[in-house]
Structure 1
């Protein structure tokens, strides 16, 4: 790989890292912080109405960035194995319309919040809780693909070494953890087990680590170089 191609690879990696950073930051805000603050009842959410709206906006921004991210990563890994890179893009992209449909239920909850206010009747609280429940169900389906796309992504990292291979291993383990959590959540005893709280930890470490590496250093050629013949 010549010098221009190496510089292009680093540039493409940094672009992917910047998009990944948007996904990570907005995801932490809308999927973790906002739900922990706004609660599941209208009275609780009304006290943080601005935060509730910001969570919806952050989720929409996350979906846009997550739609662009796999295409940016495709530029980094397509010459390693085009089939795996295409699968990575397809699995990630499938989750976006699912997530957008899911967030419409949270927007319905926002409408109830604005209409009913803090002194909502029991029926309004029940409708509000149902909207949040439907939103959660949509996220569960989307999270299946949030895990599946990590499998080809992690495999490409392991094969190419364009970012540290330990991150590729974490991505693969994390992708499997997402899938296990989705299907395990359908089994009562498994869903309630303490293990379910940890199965996605490798994904968090792998994704944040990959994001920061790409942002700081871009993609590298890798110790063994890229198998150019895999383009055919």
Structure 2
């Protein structure tokens, strides 16, 4: 398989990660979850249960795609620096089992709202509280796994920067994006009452979406010219 074909395959899997991730992590919660009102949240989930289930499926597909992606990228970048390419795989792949296990929290929400006979002994208000705790626990899990979503971007960005067959600007954005993720996690953990500025997330967003579209549309040169970035 040529480098251009490998690049486009990587872009395709990256696009799957981006689209399913946005749907699961941003769109579905924005439609269903009202953090200040458990009753409204539960009612939203019950009325749009298929959307909630679709979010879970989308999340699972996102993490499966994210598991495959770094191995494809390894084929693309191993000639640039095999050690950094291996580190990129390790930091990305370690996040996948954590992410999948964290999804249990959302499945448990469905169990609580299933109307099963054994749940009739539990007060409605208690069920609502449990649902919100599970949703908050899921978000906490996402916060933790973001450490690895950030860390893998540094070796990935370095490889892009050194490759000479991809624009260096994407490599710079990805490496800066690594620290954006870490700032977001440690800032939230250490200073929970301080709002993290939105611009902290922008380098990672621009870098990931940019490299995704570049790989998918432009691909790479099979034989990079010396000095070309």
Moved over 2 A (4+): 113-117, 191-194, 219-226
* Unaligned ranges ≥5, structure 2: 35-40
The residue aligned with 2:37 is none
1:181-192 pair list within 5 angstroms: 181-188=184-191, 192=194
The residue aligned with 2:6 is 12
Is residue 126 of structure 1 aligned with residue 120 of structure 2? no
Q: How much has 1:113 moved relative to structure 2? A: 2.4
* 1:185 aligned counterpart, secondary structure: helix
Equivalent of 2:30, from 28, 33, 36? 36
- Mapped partners of 2:164, 2:108: distance in 1: 45
The residue aligned with 2:47 is 47
* Unaligned ranges ≥5, structure 1: 1-6, 227-232
- Mapped partners of 1:16, 1:108: distance in 2: 33
Q: Which shows bigger deviation, 216-225 or 31-40?
A: 216-225
The residue aligned with 1:62 is 62
Q: How much has 1:42 moved relative to structure 2? A: 1.1
The residue aligned with 1:212 is 213
Q: How much has 1:175 moved relative to structure 2? A: 1.2
How many aligned positions are there? 216
The residue aligned with 1:193 is 195
- Mapped partners of 1:140, 1:207: distance in 2: 18
Q: What is the TM-score normalised by the length of structure 2? A: 0.89
- Mapped partners of 1:145, 1:138: distance in 2: 12
- Mapped partners of 2:169, 2:74: distance in 1: 20
* 1:145 aligned counterpart, secondary structure: helix
Asked whether the 8 Å contact 2:91–2:151 carries over to 1, the reply is yes
Q: How much has 1:137 moved relative to structure 2? A: 1.3
- Mapped partners of 2:88, 2:196: distance in 1: 30
Asked whether the 8 Å contact 1:98–1:142 carries over to 2, the reply is yes
Asked whether the 8 Å contact 1:174–1:201 carries over to 2, the reply is yes
